[in-house]
Structure 1
């Protein structure tokens, strides 16, 4: 006689918990932001201190004005040295990129991966009702892909 197993009525297979997939679910919300009037050297110090490669410039109403990156700062260092110009009176407003591409916080995070690939950006700000509400980076999308894979994709 073999081993018998009584299983009773089988429960319906559990559906996997809904895994959040929107950009809003993975974006950084606690951002280091800058103001137009800040000195470029102070901005560089903040980038280093916080271990970030760039950030958003906002006004007093938290409306996005532009972005500044390590590359923008490097260009300023190079120009200042080449033209023998002091950097002490230079504001971030003079070096920020005002041609900023934002993405919708409700976009699927995997679709955001396509935007990163197409546009070769390192980060996208997320604006809602005219206000900066977050930023998503390539690393945030990688984290989302790993989480989604472990929950929904075949291993």
Structure 2
């Protein structure tokens, strides 16, 4: 039986609740990962953040313009509408960059112990529609993380 311990990544990128979203987003992008656990000073998981959580911060507005047969007023107002939309997106990005990760993280985190099988971990991910599972020890401290990719990779090594 292949366990989560066999498949998990032990070097886990983590964040603190007071980290700014703009910094978190940049670190996730640079490291090509889509999410990470949030831990306290004792390495106990307090939440998890994903690209989806960050994306929900940014509201995208689109101007209502009749593109097939624009009215003359639409053509006159188009530059004004576009500037307004740009200003709204700019405001949204500025607001998002000042938010702390603790404000948007998922607080109810599903985690697993290292002894469970990867097939059980895969079933949890599928049932709960999540992409990653933090792995904890008997004291609830973070010791690793297993992703869908890790499970698929471990299954490939089986044969």
1:110–1:145 Cα contact (<8 Å) kept: no
Specify the SS of the correspondent of 2:11: coil
TM-score of the aligned structures, taking structure 2 as reference length = 0.75
Give the C-alpha shift of residue 25 in structure 1: 1.3
Q: Residues of 1 paired with 2:36 and 2:24: CA distance? A: 9
Determine which structure has greater relative contact order: mean sequence separation of CA pairs < 8 Å that are 6+ residues apart, divided by chain length.
2
Residue segments in structure 2 that go unaligned for 5+ positions in a row: 61-87
Q: Residues of 1 paired with 2:126 and 2:107: CA distance? A: 21
Alignment of 1:1-155 (within 5 A): 21-78=2-59, 81=89, 84=92, 86-128=95-137, 129-148=139-158, 150=159
Residue segments in structure 1 that go unaligned for 5+ positions in a row: 1-19, 151-155
CA RMSD of the aligned region, Å?
Answer: 1.9
2:22–2:98 Cα contact (<8 Å) kept: no
1:58–1:64 Cα contact (<8 Å) kept: yes
> Structure 1 residues 83 and 45 mapped into 2: Cα distance closer, same or farther (>3 Å)?
closer
